[in-house]
Amino acid sequence: MATSNINVRTDAALKAQAQQIFESIGLDLSTAVNLFLKQTVRANNLPFVVGAMYIRPDEPQSSLPQVRRKPLYGCAKDKIWIADDFNAPLDDFKEYM
C-alpha cells in the first residue's frame, strides 16, 4: 500500500491533549488519524454522532437512527400520578387475606 503525507492544522494545546490520550492507549497521532479516516470511509459518514443524530444528506429523516437524550429532572411533572388507594388491598385478593 502506497502512503501519502497530509498536513493538518490544529490548535497546539488540542494536539498535545490528543497525543497524551492516544499515547495512553498505545497509539501515536498518525495511527489515530488513520483509524478515523478508515472508519469514515467504512461508514461513508462521520464515525460518531453529530448533535442529536447522524448526519447523512442522502437519507430521508425517517431512516436516521434516533439517539436517546438524557431526561431532564422534572420533565414528567403532572404527567404521572399515583392513586390515593395505591397501597390498599385489591378486591381480587380478599379471599387470600
pLDDT digits over 35-84, tens only? Answer: 999 988 887 877 776 655 555 555 555 555 555 667 778 777 888 888 88
Cell output for 36: 478515523
86, part of any domain: no
50, part of any domain: yes
| Torsional sign, CA 75, 80, 84, 87 | negative
pTM score of the predicted model: 0.49
29, part of any domain: yes
Structural domain total, the chain: 1
Q: 53 lies in which domain range?
A: 12-72
94, part of any domain: no
Question: Alpha helix (H) ranges present in the chain?
Answer: 12-24, 29-43
83, part of any domain: no
91, part of any domain: no
